[in-house]
């Protein structure tokens, strides 16, 4: 590592810190894009097997080259601009969708020291950046000048704003018990307690003492992602494909990339905040980045599983779940956690 630093210092001189940061960004984004490609493959295969089909199996052995072929196809397709569309906004919208999905990864820690920017307010940063993802959806719906796209955009905006509240409340519980807004410290706070010292670390992770908040976060996360069963923004049977109905080629692919990059992001955040991040579940195995990847894969499998299993929510049911079920649960649990922390039974000292 030192040799690499000295080498870079020699070549780039004063610009080396900037070049090094850019390199680190590439090291995060390139594997992320590859995972996005193979997440689509994984999704088609998993849902295929759940529905007793085979899934993609033509391109390459076991269909493994399918996502590359899909990507190439989308790259080569023409981007069609609808006649009455608002051209500038129409083109900016997919970029606004994918930029926050990538920018949020800046503060996601992979292990104790492996993080691009270890800032103190990283949880707030994530919430602020991910809350901007909705603009891509709204603007694409508006700029397309199409009824279906606009309906999808309106649904999506209302849905994302409502579920952000439940999500924020569950994160408040997390930062109360871990006494920090820093994601690295949130993970490290899950490594202490009675069970962790007994070598049963997985029982002292946040998912168990904050079980209702874990469920609320997971479900609101699915809703924030506009994934089934909360995909009313796309709703093929009602509004064709929702906000991206007028998009084709690479512009459509950007929405797709943003959705899957966000899925991986929510999986990473769930693993970090509730499932102990890179911590090993039992005392005799070492901690490491592989644990984080295993937990993320598990959460991603849950998302795919939801999609294969549940029918779509109706719009009013969706709003009811967000405002009348999750919000009261969150508020009550917030008070419960507060009282718990002040009582002698406090387990988070």
Partner 1 sequence: MDFQSFVFFFLSAILIFASLRVITSRNPVYAALHLILAFFTCGGIWALLQAEFLAIALILVYVGAVMVLFLFVVMMLDINMDRIREGFWNYLPLGAVLGLLMVMEMGLVLGSKYFQVPASEAITPAGISNTKSIGALMFTEYVYPFELASIILLVGMIAAIVLTYRGPKKSRYTNPNQQVFVKAKDRVRVLQMPVEKD
Half-sphere exposure of 57 (CA within 13 A, CB side): 7
Q: Which stretch binds partner 1 (CB under 8 A): 32-40, 46-54, 197-205, 315-323?
A: 315-323
Q: Which stretch binds partner 1 (CB under 8 A): 124-132, 210-218, 234-242, 268-276?
A: 124-132
Give the residue, chosen from 105, 125, 217, 326, that forms a contact with partner 1 under the rule CB under 8 A: 125
Closest CA to 293 of 38, 2, 58, 44: 38
Six-digit token string for 154: 């309106």
Nearest approach, Cβ of 255 to partner 1 (angstroms)? 18
With contacts defined by CB under 8 A, how many residues of the chain interact with partner 1? 26
Distance CA 64, CA 48 (A): 14
Q: Which stretch binds partner 1 (CB under 8 A): 115-123, 245-253, 269-277, 291-299?
A: 115-123
User: Could you say which residues in the range 66-95 bind partner 1, by CB under 8 A?
Assistant: 89
Is 119 an interacting residue with respect to partner 1 (CB under 8 A)? yes
| Cα–Cα distance list, 267 to 80, 120, 298, 302, 304 (Å) | 33, 21, 8, 9, 12
Is 236 an interacting residue with respect to partner 1 (CB under 8 A)? no
Is 131 an interacting residue with respect to partner 1 (CB under 8 A)? yes
Contact assessment for residue 300 and residue 264, using Cβ atoms and an 8 Å cutoff: yes
Q: What is the residue whose two structure tokens read 């999609």?
A: 307
Closest CA to 238 of 128, 304, 174, 151: 151
User: Could you say which residues in the range 142-181 bind partner 1, by CB under 8 A?
Assistant: 142, 150, 154, 157, 160-161, 164, 181
Q: Which stretch binds partner 1 (CB under 8 A): 77-85, 121-129, 235-243, 254-262?
A: 121-129
The residue among 139 and 264 lying less far from partner 1, judged by its C-beta, is 139
Is 124 an interacting residue with respect to partner 1 (CB under 8 A)? yes
Q: Residue 188 — left, alpha, or beta (φ > 0 → left; ψ -120 to 50 → alpha)?
A: alpha
**DSSP class per residue in 107-148:** G--SSSS--S---TTHHHHHHHHHGGGHHHHHHHHHHTT-HH
Q: Which stretch binds partner 1 (CB under 8 A): 4-12, 22-30, 35-43, 134-142?
A: 134-142
Is 316 an interacting residue with respect to partner 1 (CB under 8 A)? yes
Distance CA 140, CA 106 (A): 26
Distance CA 93, CA 98 (A): 9
Nearest approach, Cβ of 139 to partner 1 (angstroms)? 8
Q: Which stretch binds partner 1 (CB under 8 A): 41-49, 117-125, 233-241, 283-291?
A: 117-125
Contacts of 56 (CB under 8 A, 6+ apart): 41, 44, 45, 48, 63, 66
Is 320 an interacting residue with respect to partner 1 (CB under 8 A)? yes
Give the residue, chosen from 26, 128, 198, 332, that forms a contact with partner 1 under the rule CB under 8 A: 128
Nearest approach, Cβ of 128 to partner 1 (angstroms)? 4
Nearest approach, Cβ of 343 to partner 1 (angstroms)? 19
Write out the residues near partner 1 by the rule CB under 8 A: 89, 119-121, 124-125, 127-129, 131-132, 134-135, 138-139, 142, 150, 154, 157, 160-161, 164, 181, 316-317, 320
């Amino acid at each position: 590592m030192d040799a690499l630093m000295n080498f870079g210092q020699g070549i780039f001189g004063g610009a080396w810190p900037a070049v090094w940061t850019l390199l680190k960004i590439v090291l995060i984004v390139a594997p992320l894009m590859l995972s996005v490609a193979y997440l689509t493959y994984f999704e088609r295969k998993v849902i295929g097997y759940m529905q007793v089909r085979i899934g993609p199996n033509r391109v390459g052995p076991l269909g493994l080259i399918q996502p590359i072929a899909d990507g190439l196809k989308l790259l080569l397709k023409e981007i069609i601009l609808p006649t009455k569309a608002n051209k500038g906004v129409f083109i900016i919208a997919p970029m606004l969708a994918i930029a926050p999905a990538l920018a949020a990864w800046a503060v996601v820690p992979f292990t104790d020291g492996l993080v691009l920017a270890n800032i103190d307010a990283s949880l707030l940063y994530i919430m602020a950046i991910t809350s901007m993802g909705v603009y891509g959806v709204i603007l694409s719906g508006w700029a397309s000048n199409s009824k279906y796209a606009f309906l999808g955009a309106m649904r999506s905006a209302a849905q994302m704003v409502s579920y952000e509240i439940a999500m924020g409340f569950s994160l408040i519980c997390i930062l109360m018990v871990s006494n920090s807004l820093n994601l690295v410290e949130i993970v490290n706070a899950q490594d202490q307690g009675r069970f962790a010292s007994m070598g049963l670390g997985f029982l002292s992770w946040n998912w168990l003492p904050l079980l209702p908040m874990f469920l609320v976060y997971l479900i609101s996360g699915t809703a924030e992602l506009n994934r089934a069963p909360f995909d009313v923004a796309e709703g093929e049977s009602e509004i064709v494909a929702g906000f991206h109905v007028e998009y084709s080629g690479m512009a459509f692919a950007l929405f797709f990339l943003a959705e899957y990059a966000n899925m991986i992001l929510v999986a990473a955040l769930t693993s970090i905040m509730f499932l102990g991040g890179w911590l090993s579940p039992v005392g005799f195995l070492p901690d490491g980045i592989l644990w984080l990847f295993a937990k993320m894969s598990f959460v991603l499998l849950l998302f795919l599983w939801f999609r294969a299993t549940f029918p779509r929510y109706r719009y009013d049911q969706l709003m009811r779940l967000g405002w009348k079920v999750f919000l009261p649960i969150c508020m009550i649990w917030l008070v419960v956690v507060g009282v718990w922390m002040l009582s002698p039974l406090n387990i988070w000292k």
